Chains A and B, each alone.
Chain A
Amino acid sequence: SYVLTQPPSVSVAPGQTAKIACGGDNIGTKSVHWYQQRPGQAPVLVIYYDTDRPSGIPERFSGSNSGNSATLTISRAEAGDEADYYCQVWDNSRNQQVFGGGTKLTVL
Chain B
Amino acid sequence: EVQLLESGGGMVQPGGSLRLSCAISGFTFSKYAMSWVRQAPGKGLEWVASISASGVSTYYADSVNGRFVISRANSGDTLHLQLNSLRREDTAVYYCAKVRLGIVEVANDHWGQGTLVTVSS
A residues touching B (Cβ–Cβ < 8 Å)? Answer: 1, 31, 33, 35, 37, 42-45, 48-49, 54, 84, 86, 88, 90, 92, 95-102
Contacts and interface: CB of A to CB of B under 8 A. Distances in A.
Contacts of A99: 37, 44-47
B62 A1 contact: yes
Interface stretch (B24-32, B70-78, B84-92, B104-112): B104-112
Q: Is the interface of B mostly helix, strand, loop or mixed?
A: strand
B105 A96 contact: no
Q: Is the interface of A mostly helix, strand, loop or mixed?
A: strand
B19 interface: no
A54 B107 CA distance: 11
Contacts of A54: 109
B35 interface: yes
B106 A90 contact: yes
5 contacts: A45-B107, A84-B44, A90-B106, A96-B60, A98-B47
B105 A43 contact: no
B74 to A, nearest CB: 22
A88 B45 CA distance: 10
A104 B95 CA distance: 20
Contact of A42 (B61, B109, B113): B113
Which 4 residue pairs across A and B have the least CB separation, nearest first? A97-B47, A33-B107, A48-B107, A102-B44
Given A31-B106, A92-B105, A44 B47 contact: no
A95 to B, nearest CB: 5
A102 B108 contact: no
Nearest to B97: A43
B7 to A, nearest CB: 15
Interface string B44-64: 111100100000000111100
A102 B95 CA distance: 17
B111 A88 contact: no
Contacts of A92: 105
Given A44-B111, A92-B105, A96-B47, 11 more contacts: A31-B105, A33-B106, A33-B107, A43-B97, A45-B107, A45-B108, A88-B107, A96-B61, A97-B37, A99-B46, A102-B44
